[in-house]
Every structure is written in structure tokens, then in C-alpha cells.
Structure 1
Amino acid sequence: MKKNYHGIIPPIVSPVDKDENIDEQGFRALIEYCIKGGLHGFLVAGTNGETMQLTQKERNNAIRICLDQVNGRVPVIAGVMDTSTRRVIENIKALEDMGGTCAAVTPIFYDRHTSQDETIRHFEQILKETSVELFVYNIPPFTGIKLTPDTVMKIADMDERVVGYKDSAAAYTDFLKMVGRYKDTSFSVLSGATPQALSGVLMGADGFVPALGPAFPEMFVSAYEAAKSKDVELTIQYDELIRESGKILGMSKNATAAAKYAISLRGHIDKRVMMPQDVILPEEEPRIKAKLEEVDAMYEELKKSVK
């Protein structure tokens, strides 16, 4: 059965100017670079996009620019996460006004969570008052609650507009339970835990959401295609390569700053992150640049060996 959301769908960063407003020119150039690199879609205004650091106006601006630049060529999932059901619905209404068709919804956060049922009620009300497709986004480090597979399945069964699940809980057994349940349906299951992602695709997952996708678009697409085609030996080689690239995220105190700097080395955006986050230190920059070049060279060698 056809899956509308599959492959490599990165959580695209939000390039900003010195006033912390979206750098529209840089953002459009980065999106175009990613599309030319073969990426299968975008998650805009997600965690890696510093969505909660942006003002509401600039969050909507990032979504608007992404939708306009993509112009229907690949799917766009927009982050609408917030601290209450009413706020999320208002965010989705703004998305609908911009012509967006899919929203990523987390449990609410900055809250004393009391049950899984509150998130079920959250989605029930959102579905009543909005018309877009929804992705269930499970990211417990930022929401304070880990959704169980049963909860996600209950939400998925509510309406055909619940079209997918992004798992950033990194609970592999739970993730595989979701993969097995929705393997032969139109419901998409994407991994937000990159170290587990290729093995997940081998097991039937529909794709993954790597923070460094915009830094290595062609490499991530090739890795996905190897796993999707069930080429185990090649997938193992790509897994090693992706784990090597993932070291970039640990080369700075702030993984978002590390990702943004690595992506900026491709020449389209500035490395700037938003206050009050830690920034890339001068001594960290050459180490990240060297690792990016090392991974590029490893990828070229792997391509030669495949030929």
C-alpha cells in the first residue's frame, strides 16, 4: 500500500538573522539544496528547527516559506506543538490558512502529566476542530511523557487523517511493535532515533528523520534505499557511515548548534542559534569541519565500492 510519508524527512533547521527572524533567502536555498539532494520531505518547525525559541510569528513564517518553496514537490509536515490543546488548534488553524496539509502533534508540555488518556483527548479535540492530516510525535525528553504503543494505536484508529507516527522515544521494541502493526497500511512509521533507524527500515519502518539530513542529503537517501531494498551488507556499511556522521552532534555542548554549523558549511545558511542556547566555540568549528569532510570522503569510497 502506498505511503505518502516515507524515506528521509529531516527536521529542517531554521536559519535566522541577527534579530532572530527567519533568514528567508538562506532558508529557501537550503530547502532547494535538500530537494536536489533527493530528500523525501521536510519536518519544519520541529525541535531541530528551534520551534519553541522562535516567536509565534516567525514559526509561522518558517512554515510559510517552507510550504512556498517546496510548492508541493515533496510532503511538508509542520510542527504545531504547544502547551495546551487550544494553542495547538490555533497553530493548526494558522497552518490551514497557509495551505499546509499535515501537522506534527506532540503531547502538551510544561504540564503535570497524569495519564496517557489526556493525550488521547488532546487528539480527539484537534480532529474535531481541524481538517489537516496529523502525525503523532512521541518525544518524551521534551514533553515529559512517553506515549505507549497502545496509546498511539488508539489515536491512529480515531480517524484516517491520523497518517503517521514519528518516534523519538528510542524504545526500539515499542517502535518495532508499531512497525509490525502498520506495515501493510497507509499509516507511516518514521524513526526519530537515527542510530536505530536503518535497522528499523530493514524491519519494515517507512523512513527516518535525521537532524543531519540537510548536511548529507544524498548519503542519507542512499542509506535509506539500501535498507529499503533489504541489502543487509550494504546497509551495515551505511550504518557505520551514519554513526560516524552522528559524532558531529556530540562535538559541541549544544547538538542543535553542532548540526546548524555542519549544515552551514554547505554554504546556504548561517550557523547562528537562538538565545539563550550555547553556541559553537571557535575551537569546535575545525573539528566539526574535519569530521564532515571525513564523512564525505568515506561516502565517496563507499560509492566507488558499490560500483
Structure 2
Amino acid sequence: MQFTGAFTALVTPFKNGTVDEETYRAHIEWQIEQGIDGLVPCGTTGESATLSHAEHAQVIKICVDQVKGRVPVLAGAGSNNTTEAIELTRFAKDAKADGALLITPYYNKPTQPGLIAHFAAIAKAVSMPFIVYNVPGRTSVNLLPQTVAALKKQVPEVIGIKEATGNLCQISEVIEYCGRDFTVLSGDDFTVLPTLAIGGHGVISVVSNVAPAMMRKLCKAWRKGDIAKAQRLHYKLAPLNRAMFIETNPIPAKTALSLMGRMSSELRLPLVNMAPEVEARLSEVLKKSGIL
């Protein structure tokens, strides 16, 4: 499968309010050097909600250009407006991304048939591999396993799901109903190993922004049957995973990368920088984990 292993949900570096292309390219290159299996530009971690359409297209194009086919690029292209999602997916296809990551519509709270109609409409307009993204904590709608199975049958472009419910029963049902040929990726760094254990294929990770080699090694150890090593890495990553969500994502990830000297911690409103005392807690975790 093309979308297997550790994929980083890339942060988008900013400099004086604009996309910092030089730093972004350097971050992508470092990820590849560290052995990451794939990259995801313009996801939630990339602050896609505050990117203009022109910036959205720019960020995807930069990523694809810098990667040069060395790893798959799964471009964030979702929206709660179906027409806008079609436009963003077209950006992804035109930029030659390998697939599109499509979040379920947020705020609108569509029904399950409405979710199917949304993804079907995108596929009708722009045919390319889709990974749908289920994250009820941000969208207030849950893409149910039966609906995922219906999507697989009715919309062939839907080849997998990023599951961020944190509910292993639901993830298990998706695999049960959709089969092992359907790509199931953990959407939570906390549940990577459990998801792999029940038949998942990898993760779209936040923590791999700061620890790409470690997350990639966890996924690789599991694939090779080295359960003990995968467990060790799972517990080694656990404090970092918690730290990456000490405040709203991607505030901790960007702050950590700033502490590592890899980029500015600049965010876009309504996200703001950490208070000094919270940053100090984050720094301590990074030091104990060997990141700093």
C-alpha cells in the first residue's frame, strides 16, 4: 500500500505573516533524511484553516517539489464547503500530490448520507486517491464504520481513512467491515501501536514533526514483527505525545521546533504562543526525551 507507515502532518512555518518557503523546504528535507515514510501538507497541524487558497496551493506545490517523488505526499484538501473541497482537491491533483486527505465537513454536522454525498461529489469532480479524515473532536460529526464501508463501495477513490476518534472498537469495526486492503491510519499519536495491532497500516503523526525517526522506527518494528521494540518505542514516545497536546495542536509542535532551532514559533491568530511556564514544561519533556 502506498500510504503505509509513519506520515508527518507537517507544520507550516511562517515568517512575518507569510509562508516561510526556505524553512519549510528545510523541514521537509530533514523529515526525509530522518526516514519518514510520507508527508502531509495542509492538514490541521499545517494551520490549513488560516491559509488562503493561494497559500494552500503554494504549500502543497512546495512540498511536492521538494519531495521529488522520494516519499508519498498526501495533501490536505478538505473543507466543510463541498465546492471549496473540490477546488482544494483540484489544487492537490494539479500539484501532482499522490493523494488527498479529506476531513469530514465540520460545523455543518451533516448526516451519514450527507457525508457520503459530500465525498462522492468531490470524487465526481476530481478523481484521485482519497484518505478521509474522521476527527469528531474537531468536527462534531462521527463518520461511522458502516458509512466508511458504504463509501468504500460507492466511491472507489476512497481508499482509506485517518481515524482520530481514539476509539479502538470503532477502528476495529472499520477494518472488519472494509477489509485489510483498506488503508487505516491512526490519527492520534497515542494510538499508533494499538491501531497497528488490530490491523491498521500506520499513522498521520504530529509528534513526528520533532521525532520522525522514532515514529518511523515504531511502525517499521511492528511490520517486521519486532513487538518488543515497537512497545519500547511506544512508551518512549508517550511523554512526547502528551507534550505535543499540552496546548492546542500545532502550538506545542511549532514551539518544540523553535526550541530545536529548526524554525520560528510564529503562529496565525486565533492561535497564540505558549505562556513561558507552559513552554518550560515542554522544554523539560524534550530534554528528557533526548530531543534537546
Q: TM-score range by the shorter chain?
A: over 0.9
Q: Give the distance between the partners of 1:258 and 1:141, measured in 2 at CA.
A: 18
**1:125-204 matched pairs, under 5 angstroms:** 125-182=121-178, 184-185=180-181, 187-204=182-199
Partner of 1:98: 95
CA distance in 2, matches of 1:87, 1:249: 30
The 5 Å alignment of 1:239-278 reads 239-251=234-246, 253-278=247-272
Where does residue 6 of structure 1 map in the other structure? 4
- Choose the corresponding residue for 1:205, options 186, 200, 205: 200
2:212 paired residue among 213, 217, 236: 217
- Structure 2 Cα separation of the partners of residues 255 and 99 of structure 1: 27
TM-score (norm 2): 0.94
Give 1:188 shift.
1.2
Amino acid at match of 1:169: T
What are the superposed Cα offsets for residues 139-170 of structure 1, whole Å, 9 maximum, x if unpaired?
Answer: 11222200101111111122432221110111
Counterpart CA distance in 2 for 1:254 and 1:105 is: 21
Separation in structure 1 between the aligned mates of residue 190 and residue 248 of structure 2, nearest angstrom = 18
Alpha carbons 1:257, 1:272 under 8 Å: kept = no
DSSP-derived class of the 2:250 partner: helix
- Give the TM-score, by structure 1 length: 0.89
Shift of 1:232: 2.8
CA offsets per residue over residues 45-74 of structure 1, 9 Å max, x none? 111111001222212211111111111111
Q: What is the total number of aligned residue pairs between the two structures?
A: 292
Moved over 6 A (4+): none
Displacement of 1:13: 0.5
Unpaired segments ≥5 residues, structure 2: none
Is the contact between residue 199 and residue 227 of structure 1 (CA under 8 Å) also seen in structure 2? Answer: no
> What is the aligned partner in structure 2 of residue 303 from structure 1?
none
For residues 137 and 11 of structure 2, what CA distance do their matches in structure 1 show?
Answer: 19
CA RMSD in angstroms comes to 1.9
Gaps of 5+ in 1: 298-307
CA contact (8 A) 1:183 1:205 kept: no
Distance in 2, Cα, partners of 1:61 & 1:264: 23
2:56 corresponds to: 59
| Cα distance change, pair 272–173 in 1 and its aligned pair in 2 (3 A) | same
Q: What displacement does 1:181 show?
A: 4.4
Look up the SS of the partner of 1:284 in the other structure. Answer: helix
Task: Name the amino acid aligned to 1:255.
Answer: N
Amino acid across the alignment from 2:166? A
Asked if residue 282 in structure 1 is aligned to residue 276 in structure 2, the reply is yes
Contact kept in structure 2, 1:109 and 1:143, CA below 8 Å: yes
Tell me: CA distance 1:234–1:152, structure 2 relative to 1, closer, same or farther (3 Å).
same
Aligned residues of 1:46 and 1:79 also touching (Cα < 8 A): yes
**Distance in structure 2 (CA, Å) of the matches to 1:96 and 1:87:** 14
Preserved contact between residue 209 and residue 253 of structure 2 (Cα < 8 Å): no
Q: Is the partner of 2:118 in helix, strand or coil?
A: helix
Instruction: Measure, in 1, the Cα distance between the counterparts of 2:200 and 2:179.
Output: 7
For residues 154 and 65 of structure 2, the distance between their equivalents in structure 1, rounded to whole angstroms, comes to: 30
In 2: Cα distance, 1:106 partner to 1:268 partner: 28
- 2:76 corresponds to 1:79: yes
> Post-superposition shift, 1:242?
1.5
